[in-house]
Structure 1
Amino acid sequence: MLRLVDVFAGCGGMTEGFRQARVDGSDAPVFEPVMAVEHDPFAAETYALNFGDHVDVRDIRLIPDEDFEPADVVIGGPPCQGFSSLNRNREGDLRRQLWQEYARALRATGARYFVMENVRQLLASPEYATFKAEAVGEGWFIAEDVLLTADYGVPQARRRTIVIGSLKGDLALPTPTHAAPEDLFTDLPPWLTVHDAIGHLPSEPDGERWHRSRNPTDVSRLRYSHVPRNGNRFDMQRSLEAEGLHDLVPPCWRNKTTGTTDVFGRMDWERPAPTIRTEFYKPEKGRYLHPEADRPITIREGALLMGFDDEFEFPEHMSMSHVGRQIGNAVPPPLARCIAEVIAQDAVTRGLLDAGGVPVTLVR
């Protein structure tokens, strides 16, 4: 197997995709996770629960080069909040400088492949331009683009920057595995939907494996009940006012007549979910109401919509905010698997790995 190091690992969404990767129809795993770096102890605990006790719970800047495990592949997404359009004061944000630590990890591990994931804005940033120039100068071949996760078997419409690097030659980004249902010029299966992901769960949360949501007040439930199928806050406002419940429409909503159309919106059973952010269990943050039930989606539903399967574990003792943050910040595993299989096939083609997943040569 190819040795894998995950930096800025979070709860391990990208590692999970690499763990699932297979090549040439073989059932043998291709990648062996040997090290993760994650400074958040809650996310690190989740990672360890699912992958083993090889997590370094330190700020990556404090890890000396000699402490990095030798690896064939380095994966990870430097914290994206510094690049996000939601962060208005991002100039000089320390999180924007952590690409330097990512580059250091590449050198320290001796990796010959890497995968970087981040928000769409990354590609236009001066930090990425510097990283790319240095990487190309060191012999890396780079492929980059903004990918739509729904095109890769994720039941969620989320756009993310993916950068793949190889020291062995040109490497293409993965080709889509799914397509929009209205696309009549493809043989690919349609996007996975909200119903595909969470339709098997009981409508009334049973509390099992994080199938639980916030406990809304009676007033909140009444508001939720006035959001029609696929509706949003404007539909809710009209419905409440039609029944004479004007007092349940806050002045801030009444005075904001445009924008924020997803707030208090219901998900659509027949489409992928919107972007699952870190507070997806709060309907005031976006289109996070269940398609039918008068409640926000549960933590487990959010994980499934991110592409985690039912077997992935989140510690039951943690707070909802800690687990929600881990899920919202994760790389969707199905997308990561598609990327991993591109790297695995390239390793086979170049004679670095046989078709059974056995390395032909040692780590560089």
Structure 2
Amino acid sequence: MDLHPASGQLFMDPLSGTVRIKTAASMLGVTAQTVRNWVASGQIPSVRHPLNGYRLFRVKDIEQLLVGSGSVANPRDSGTLSPVGPVLAYSQAEGRGYRAVTLRDGQTVTTEVPSNRTAIEYQERDFERDWLRSPIRPASASGRTRVRIGDIFSGGGIFSLGVDEALRAVGLQPEHAFGIDFDRDAIETFGWNFAESVALHSDITSITSGAVGAHRSLSERDFLRSAGEGVDILVAGPPCQGHSDLNNHTRRDDPKNSLYFSVARMAELLQPSFVLIENVPGVVHDRSFVVQRTAEALDNLGYHISSKLVDMTCIGVPQTRRRFVLVASRKGRVDLDAALALQADDARPVSWAIDDLTDRYSADATYESSASHSTENRRRIDYLFDHELHELPNSERPPCHRDKPHSYVSVYGRMWWDRPAPTITGGFGSTGQGRFVHPLFRRTLTPHEACRLQFVPDFFTFPDGVGRRSMQQIIGNAAPPKLSQTVILGAAIQGVLL
């Protein structure tokens, strides 16, 4: 298991006698992905650099593997270690990319995506880019076990996409029981993408009071009838504006924060095997201790609890975004460090996600065009490009920035092509709400580009009636589905999902 400087575990001089993952892979005669698999299964320890977060390996640990011990074979003999834990492997052949997941019982599940890539070594990032570019939803396992999913505070269903992909990866078939959201355009988008589900346009407070242990109310009984009683997996992304560090008005003292606790009551009603709640990092500082109270309630209901603050760049999302996850499983505690290690990758830049969209712009399509800008903001965008800048000087900013000190350096800024994007918010169409100017073109992002940076695949679409403003909010308010995929896949291969 990884040792993190912020974890409270003590270790001596973590940089002494260590190498990066590529060097470790070269010494062991295997791929970097194989090394990640070994980290996830506990076959080789690693540490994190205290400043940049890079994964480091002690030379002495590598040497110990090379001589072999116990059931671990000498990697110089065969290029692989005995699969005592879950393994991910990727390959490509005849226009298809393949992902093989070897479970602890020895079963291997292989899934595929269309691929036109000519990579020398087809890796996780290649498979995932092919998945993002897929216009048709990849087929799930047929005839396999069906897994019912419920999504509360669902938005457009973007976070549930990752649950689907994780279940597909391990040979399970997702079945969406319901989605609930108070925003009409969001829940219509959910229903559009998950046609088999019940899409409920409702405020959660009209369904349940959130009181754990109470007798079922009439509204709760009505909901359970419409949702088909129970689910196997419950995911939730309660409204987070009250917790967000971008909100300076009601931070950590917003009545909406109490909606987080209602997830525990929904778990009591629906009896899922697995619960996944995501939110912004600031939720842990809520003045009513909503995370702690929710975790305690789920613990009392018989769940094993784990939680983690996750940096999206560390799991392959091309965006500097962090989310806090609270996970509850009836089968056992999820090792989130191991789950994250299995999907770990170096930071992916903006270009990784959108370099194929440079010629897709269409002024006639909302999804493929950017928002319009005022004359003054067009001038600011021109200034960035004419002077080859990524941050707008104070002299070119409005008086509220120009005439007094401020910390909004990224506002009116331009993204970098070779770096991860900033956090994508519902304001990505406005120059005045963040660093949302395209790296190559004199405009802000299109919804399609923002979806890609949010790790949303092309087969996710919007109904015709959803306008630009709603589209932006649905995209920006979502947590990247790579997060739910990472957690669910990790739980499945650890044997604690269902």
**TM class by smaller structure:** 0.7 to 0.9
1:222 pairs with 2:366: no
User: Residues 62 and 280 (structure 1 numbering): CA distance in 2 closer, same or farther, change over 3 Å?
Assistant: same
Alpha-carbon distance between aligned partners in 2 of 1:351 and 1:103, rounded to the nearest angstrom: 18
- Which residues in structure 2 correspond to 1:1-364 (within 5 Å)? 1-22=146-167, 28-52=171-195, 53-63=197-207, 64-66=219-221, 67-68=223-224, 69-85=229-245, 86-90=247-251, 93-125=254-286, 126-173=289-336, 174-176=339-341, 188=345, 190-202=346-358, 205-207=361-363, 208=365, 210-228=367-385, 229=388, 231-234=390-393, 237=394, 249-346=397-494, 349=495, 352=498
Aligned residue identity for 2:410: D
Alpha-carbon distance between aligned partners in 2 of 1:211 and 1:351, rounded to the nearest angstrom: 38
Matched-pair contact (CA < 8 Å) for 1:21–1:31: no
User: Residues 316 and 197 (structure 1 numbering): CA distance in 2 closer, same or farther, change over 3 Å?
Assistant: farther
CA distances 1:268-310 after superposition (whole Å, capped 9, x unpaired):
1111110001111101111000002111111111111111011
User: Residues 82 and 73 (structure 1 numbering): CA distance in 2 closer, same or farther, change over 3 Å?
Assistant: same
Alpha-carbon distance between aligned partners in 1 of 2:304 and 2:321, rounded to the nearest angstrom: 26
Residue aligned with 1:163, SS: strand
1:319 deviates by 2.1
Over aligned residue pairs, what C-alpha RMSD do you find? Answer: 2.2
Alpha-carbon distance between aligned partners in 2 of 1:60 and 1:294, rounded to the nearest angstrom: 41
Aligned residue identity for 1:50: N
Alpha-carbon distance between aligned partners in 2 of 1:259 and 1:351, rounded to the nearest angstrom: 43
Structure 1 window deviating more from structure 2 (130-139 vs 11-20): it is 130-139
**How many percent identity over aligned positions?**
29
TM-score when scaled to structure 2? 0.62
Structure 2: runs of 5 or more not aligned: 1-145, 208-218
Matched-pair contact (CA < 8 Å) for 2:277–2:327: yes
Alpha-carbon distance between aligned partners in 2 of 1:256 and 1:194, rounded to the nearest angstrom: 32
Alpha-carbon distance between aligned partners in 2 of 1:105 and 1:249, rounded to the nearest angstrom: 47
User: Residues 209 and 312 (structure 1 numbering): CA distance in 2 closer, same or farther, change over 3 Å?
Assistant: farther
Choose between structure 1 and 2 for higher RCO, CA contacts under 8 A separated by at least 6 residues: 1
Alpha-carbon distance between aligned partners in 2 of 1:274 and 1:351, rounded to the nearest angstrom: 32
Matched-pair contact (CA < 8 Å) for 1:278–1:328: yes
Aligned residue identity for 2:369: R
User: Residues 87 and 256 (structure 1 numbering): CA distance in 2 closer, same or farther, change over 3 Å?
Assistant: closer
1:22 deviates by 4.0
1:249 deviates by 4.9
Residue aligned with 1:99, SS: helix
CA distances 1:246-267 after superposition (whole Å, capped 9, x unpaired):
xx65333321344211011111
The number of residues matched between the two structures is 328
Alpha-carbon distance between aligned partners in 2 of 1:157 and 1:332, rounded to the nearest angstrom: 11
Matched-pair contact (CA < 8 Å) for 1:203–1:293: no
Structure 1 window deviating more from structure 2 (11-20 vs 30-39): it is 30-39
1:43 deviates by 0.2
Residue aligned with 1:111, SS: coil
